[in-house]
Amino acid sequence: MAAVLFDFSGTLFRIESTRSWLRAVLAEADVRLPDEELIRTAKELEAVGALPGGAPRSRPLPDELTSLWEVRDQSAELHRAAYTGLCRQVELPLPQLYDALYDRHRTPAAWRPYTDAAQVLHTLCERGVAVGVVSNIGWDLRPVFRAHGLDAYIDAYVLSYEHGVQKPDARLFVTACAALGADPRDTLMVGDDRRADGGAAAVGCRVHFVDHLPVVERPNGLRPVLDLVPRPASSPVRPEPRSPGRRRLLSRQFR
């Protein structure tokens, strides 16, 4: 394999728990809730799927959000509208908390890399393998990678909201492979969503799935990637991550 593409949420990083998410926003707003009410509110937010990247919702999607939900990752505005719309299914003490919750999930503090992410990315870099991130998302995740020290390993970011299309649309995978200078047939896509990430197979990529679990429950989920991408005999060994100057950042297309 000449290149590896990774999904973001549930693959390389995991969002904080719903309770932690809510508690952080309430603290920032200087709003205090009794523990019982905080726990109940967090459970309600989780049930409606209000936290992007969090646990799957257990309640049906409201009819008024159905159409929006299908295209939520195609722009920043749609993404915010979809998730704040879900949040508004739950009563909160102040109206400004709905947007505050959305803003919190975009901060590096809300995300943790999986335990083996840095080692796997570093090893791929040593083996001369190009690495890209392909994500269905409505905001710029690059600061999350920078804050957690993983940005230097990434050669290209292909983010759905920057291109106006979302996985499994083949154009995102084709764009990522082109940015890395890799043939899709010599590229591995790693993700947690069978439908979205599985779309890479349509352009010839091999696909490997990981489980979308909390960080503590998946300490070694990425390590099998290294068995799928052995060191090519002719590849140079690079002891350090690629410098930021060598990363290819993509301009907007498809809109």
Note the pLDDT of residue 238: 44
What share of the chain has pLDDT > 90, as a percent? 89
Q: Please report which confidence band the pLDDT of residue 234 belongs to, taking 50, 70 and 90 as the band edges.
A: low
Q: Average pLDDT, stretch 158-185?
A: 98
Mean pLDDT of the chain: 92
144-152's contacts with Cβ under 8 Å and 24+ in sequence apart are 144/13, 144/108, 144/111, 146/108, 147/108, 148/13, 148/108, 148/111, 148/112, 148/113, 149/118, 150/12, 150/113, 150/117, 150/118, 150/121, 151/244, 151/247, 152/241, 152/242, 152/243, 152/244
Q: Please report which confidence band the pLDDT of residue 231 belongs to, taking 50, 70 and 90 as the band edges.
A: confident
pLDDT (tens digit per residue) in 134-160: 999 999 999 999 999 999 999 999 999
pLDDT (tens digit per residue) in 41-84: 999 999 999 999 999 999 999 999 999 999 999 999 999 999 99
Task: Calculate the CA 170 to chain-centre distance.
Answer: 18
Note the pLDDT of residue 155: 98
Note the pLDDT of residue 232: 63
Q: Which sign, positive or negative, has the C-alpha torsion 117, 123, 129, 130?
A: positive
Q: Please report which confidence band the pLDDT of residue 243 belongs to, taking 50, 70 and 90 as the band edges.
A: very low
Residue 189 pLDDT more than 70? yes
pLDDT (tens digit per residue) in 21-51: 999 999 999 999 999 999 999 999 999 999 9
Domains and CATH numbers, the chain: 3-13+112-249 (3.40.50.1000), 15-109 (no CATH)
